[in-house]
Amino acid sequence: MKIAVCVKQVPTREWQPRLTDDRTWVRDQDISYEMNEPDAYALEEGLRLKERHGGGEVVVVSAGPARVQQVIREALARGADRAIHVQDDAFARADAAASAAAVAAAVRDEGFDVVLTGLQSDDQGHAQFGPVLAERLGMPHSTIIMEVQVADGRLRAKRELEGGWFQYVSMPLPALLTIQSGINQLRYATLKGIMAAKKKEIRVVAPAAPVAPRLRVVSLALPQKAKQTAMIGGAPAEAARELVRRLREEARVL
């Protein structure tokens, strides 16, 4: 089985963002980076699929500047066999449409049986890369996946829905899935894996066409931290009704 896993490099969750002077992006020089968490679960699921089916190949695919090789090497150290890096500085600000178009062009001739991506990225969070990539590759796809089974040339997946419900879908191979965080238990790179990763192939390719995002960021703003206290008086029964009303209509947590 030949499996592609798309990974993205994102700012670490502990990093305090700082904006550029024009407030259209974050200051790249101040950022420390890590692998996108949902993509890490997609990588783990790809490795498990390979192990369950007695072999094959797991290929990591990423689009981004040269610094992206940090997370590519990490994925190789965890057990991926080789990598494809679509390299261009423009991907640092690219949207899902531009990144998916470039990745599709780079992997179309590889003949993958399964393509896995994380459900969404921790930085932009649009959850559109996987569906757009599937359309570009002409593959059936499904999203928010919590379980994957492959047998007899078909794929069966368990989708997470709202309200604690699940849906099972079946589709022919090749197919693309976007993986939900928590689907499995992540493995970490061993010293042996880190040493082996240094010898694994990373094929660097240029985008087949100029990177042309369809989304333009007009302005960014940092979240504002504020505290607000409201006192609810009256009889206990009246106060309870008012508290429930505010939680439902104002805080929207009920």
Report the candidate in 50, 161, 185 with the shortest Cα–Cα distance to residue 116. Answer: 50
Name the band, by pLDDT with cuts 50, 70 and 90, for residue 156.
Answer: very high
Residue 59 has pLDDT above 80, yes or no: yes
Report the CATH architecture of 2-205: 3-Layer(aba) Sandwich (3.40)
Q: Residue 145 has which token pair?
A: 């996946």
Residue 29 has pLDDT above 90, yes or no: no
Calculate the alpha carbon distances from 72 to 59, 79, 154 in Å.
10, 11, 29
What's the chain's average pLDDT?
Answer: 91
Q: Residue 143 has which token pair?
A: 């999203």
pLDDT tens profile 161-189: 988 899 999 999 999 999 999 999 999 89
Count how many residues are written for the chain. 254
**What is the pLDDT, as a whole number, of residue 231?**
86
Mean pLDDT (whole number) for 219-238: 84
**What is the pLDDT, as a whole number, of residue 54?**
85
**What is the pLDDT, as a whole number, of residue 72?**
96
**What is the pLDDT, as a whole number, of residue 251?**
78
**What is the pLDDT, as a whole number, of residue 46?**
96
**pTM for the full model?**
0.84
Domain boundaries, the chain: 2-205, 228-254
Mean pLDDT (whole number) for 139-147: 95
**What is the pLDDT, as a whole number, of residue 166?**
93
Mean pLDDT (whole number) for 99-104: 95
Inter-residue contact 179 to 117 (CB < 8 Å): yes
Lowest-confidence region among 6-10, 16-20, 84-88, 166-170: 16-20
